[in-house]
């Protein structure tokens, strides 16, 4: 029965990659269930430093099968590149791609760019990886699934017509240059050669593991506040990073999920547009970004920085039902004089305690903070809770209490072993 969902509790980049690489030694399968190569998951271990976009973060462990679920959209060119990199680095994990996952085609990437341009100053700030347009085609029932790459001749015929139609949109609506039908239809033969051996039926593999009582980590991408339904719409991604997505994105029954685990940074970041009530704008935010190296793993864009938002944090705790939470980047706060946590918002003179899904309201919400003294000493690389400064312990205990969730792990550095284990969240009970 044991499947464990590891989910971002904020706006992404919470350190999911680092934590999943740490936990994966105990697992038989690590499975991605949503998003595509808009994700960038950093892993630093004894094999090197990696940024995974599509391949799950159990890949550095022998005997772990890394599943790309049906809920993921796959850019085959990016996946081929990523597979080459992991082969070069001799990463031993196995890879299996769901035959039901959808393909991000070159026209999706072009449409993502054109749609963003046409949004002007209301642009979402997407990663430009074609993610939204690929999910649009999936839902419109006109997408291409990985299964079709196994029959390139059949797909080639169908694809010419699809590209022709997409080019009409590109030319007539956006007044832009059409994409090459020939290049697009030719690339499917390369995808067939390079990826066929990895494409298959994930249902059987997941089912067998669950029957054998082996552990499966369901790897979240993005973060709960970017969820297409529950996030700060329209400034969201086009999939479901929350617990519901883990179920539909892999075809796992909810009864098989033993626990849902939320990952939160000790502060907040956000990439792209959209409301961010606790954002630290100006020189202080810029300084923190530089010192903490808060730049996107996928696009290199500077991440917006903010204080820990417990109102937003509680909201994701609730929709995902986190059984425990993990706090990352505690060490990043080491030099701060004081540390703030937003406990309520003020909206038009009234205090509100609940996260709002209305962007108009959320962008006018002013944070009400509880302020904590900084600890002004290094926690970097610490492995024992006992060694943490009292101020850090108090800060963590406040977050725990406010989110009504036990902290199971605390990350104190980017490397695999830089973790304080309070209660291993996927241990045998
Ligand atoms: P993900 O998308 O959730 O996997 O997160 P990213 O990899 O995009 O961003 C997290 C960044 O924080 C990466 O650069 C990690 O190497 C780094 N990181 C993760 N945990 C820690 C930590 O505890 N301390 C520090 N200093 N860096 C961390
Ligand atoms: P990981 O898995 C942070 C954001 C983009 C943009 C919005 C929509 O590394 O945490 P999209 O390209 O998905 O249509 O962009 O979502 N976004 C992320 N932000 N981390 C991510 O992934 C993200 N994936 C998408 O910046 O605001
Ligand atoms: Mg990331």
* Ligand found nearest the CA of 15: 1
| Residue 296: per-residue pLDDT | 86
Residues bordering ligand 3, an ion, CB closer than 5 Å? 13, 40, 297
User: What is the number of the ligand 1 atom nearest to the C-alpha of 221?
Assistant: 2
CA of 223 to the centre of ligand 2 (A): 8
pLDDT band at 43; cut points 50, 70, 90: very high
Q: In this prediction, what percent of the chain has a pLDDT beyond 90?
A: 94
| Residue 428: per-residue pLDDT | 85
Q: CA 126, CA 139: separation in Å to the nearest integer?
A: 19
Summarised one tens digit per residue, pLDDT across range 177-195 is 999 999 998 999 999 999 9
Could you tell me if the CB of 268 is within 6 A of ligand 2? Answer: no
pLDDT band at 298; cut points 50, 70, 90: confident
Could you tell me if the CB of 237 is within 6 A of ligand 2? Answer: yes
Model confidence at 77: pLDDT above 80: yes
Residue for token pair 């909810």: 254
The pLDDT of 102-114, averaged and rounded, is 98
CA of 407 to the centre of ligand 2 (A): 25
pLDDT band at 1; cut points 50, 70, 90: low
pLDDT band at 99; cut points 50, 70, 90: very high
CA of 207 to the centre of ligand 2 (A): 30
The total of other beta-carbon atoms located within 10 Å of residue 389's CB is 17
Pinpoint the residues of the chain covered by CATH 1.10.300.10.
102-197
Q: Angle formed by the axes of helices 131-139 and 106-119, to 10°?
A: 110
The pLDDT of 380-407, averaged and rounded, is 97
Q: CA 337, CA 389: separation in Å to the nearest integer?
A: 14
The pLDDT of 350-360, averaged and rounded, is 92
- This prediction's pTM: 0.97
Mean pLDDT of the chain: 96
pLDDT band at 284; cut points 50, 70, 90: confident
Q: Please, what sign has the CA dihedral across residues 384, 391, 225, 40? A: negative
Max CA pair span of the chain: 66
Q: CA 21, CA 416: separation in Å to the nearest integer?
A: 7
- The answer to whether the CB of 146 falls within 8 A of the CB of 97 is yes
User: What is the number of the ligand 1 atom nearest to the C-alpha of 413?
Assistant: 24
User: What is the number of the ligand 2 atom nearest to the C-alpha of 301?
Assistant: 26
| Residue 38: per-residue pLDDT | 97
Query: Which is nearest to 179 in space by CA: 100, 127, 113, 278?
Result: 113
Could you tell me if the CB of 35 is within 6 A of ligand 1? Answer: no
Could you tell me if the CB of 226 is within 6 A of ligand 2? Answer: yes
Could you tell me if the CB of 402 is within 6 A of ligand 2? Answer: no
Report the top-level CATH class of 3-92+201-421: alpha beta
Q: CA 356, CA 361: separation in Å to the nearest integer?
A: 7
pLDDT band at 373; cut points 50, 70, 90: very high
pLDDT band at 175; cut points 50, 70, 90: very high
Pinpoint the residues of the chain covered by CATH 3.90.170.10.
3-92+201-421
Could you tell me if the CB of 111 is within 6 A of ligand 2? Answer: no
Model confidence at 240: pLDDT above 90: yes
Model confidence at 105: pLDDT above 90: yes
| Residue 66: per-residue pLDDT | 98
The pLDDT of 97-119, averaged and rounded, is 98
Extract the tokens encoding 323. Answer: 């059984």
- CATH number of the 102-197 domain: 1.10.300.10
Q: CA 398, CA 394: separation in Å to the nearest integer?
A: 6
Extract the tokens encoding 268. Answer: 């907040």
| Residue 300: per-residue pLDDT | 87
For ligand 1, pick from 378, 414, 421 the residue to mutate: most ligand atoms within 8 Å of CB. 414
* Ligand found nearest the CA of 42: 1
For ligand 1, pick from 11, 13, 15 the residue to mutate: most ligand atoms within 8 Å of CB. 15
């Amino acid at each position: 029965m044991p499947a464990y969902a590891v989910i971002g509790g904020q706006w992404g980049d919470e350190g999911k990659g680092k934590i999943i690489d740490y936990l994966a030694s105990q697992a038989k399968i690590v499975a991605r269930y949503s998003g595509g190569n808009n994700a960038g998951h950093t892993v630093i271990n004894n094999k090197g430093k990696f940024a995974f976009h599509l391949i799950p973060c159990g890949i550095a462990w022998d005997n772990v099968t890394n599943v790309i679920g049906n809920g993921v959209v796959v850019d085959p060119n990016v996946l081929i590149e990523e597979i080459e990199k992991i082969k070069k680095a001799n990463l031993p994990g196995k890879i299996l791609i769901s035959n039901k996952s959808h393909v991000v085609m070159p026209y999706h990437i072009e449409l993502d760019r054109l749609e963003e341009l046409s949004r002007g100053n209301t642009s979402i700030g997407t990663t430009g990886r074609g993610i939204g347009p690929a999910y649009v085609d999936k839902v419109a029932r006109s997408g291409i699934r990985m299964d079709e790459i196994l029959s390139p001749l059949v797909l080639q015929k169908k694809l010419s017509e699809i590209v022709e139609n997409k080019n009409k949109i590109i030319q007539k609506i956006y007044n832009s240059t059409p994409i090459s039908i020939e290049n697009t239809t030719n690339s499917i033969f390369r995808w067939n050669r390079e990826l066929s051996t990895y494409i298959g039926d994930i249902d059987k593999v997941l089912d067998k593991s669950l029957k054998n009582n082996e552990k499966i980590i369901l790897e979240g991408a993005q973060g709960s506040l970017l969820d297409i339904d529950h996030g700060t719409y329209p400034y969201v991604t086009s999939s479901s990073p929350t617990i519901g997505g883990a179920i539909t994105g892999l075809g796992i029954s909810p009864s098989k999920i033993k626990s849902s685990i939320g990952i939160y940074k000790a502060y907040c970041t956000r990439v792209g547009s959209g409301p961010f009530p606790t954002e630290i704008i100006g020189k202080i935010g810029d300084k923190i970004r530089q010192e903490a190296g808060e730049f996107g793993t996928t696009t290199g864009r500077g991440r917006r920085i903010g204080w820990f938002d417990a109102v937003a944090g509680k909201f994701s705790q609730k929709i995902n039902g986190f059984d425990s939470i993990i706090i990352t980047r505690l060490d990043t706060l080491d030099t701060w004089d004081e540390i703030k946590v937003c406990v309520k918002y003020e909206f038009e003179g009234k205090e509100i305690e609940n996260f709002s899904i209305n962007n108009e309201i959320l962008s006018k919400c002013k944070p009400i903070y509880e302020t904590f003294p900084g600890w002004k000493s290094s926690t970097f690389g610490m492995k024992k809770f006992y060694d943490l400064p009292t101020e850090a312990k108090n800060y963590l205990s406040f977050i725990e209490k406010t989110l009504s969730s036990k902290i199971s792990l605390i990350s104190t550095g980017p490397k695999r072993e830089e973790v304080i284990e309070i209660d291993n969240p996927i241990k045998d009970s």
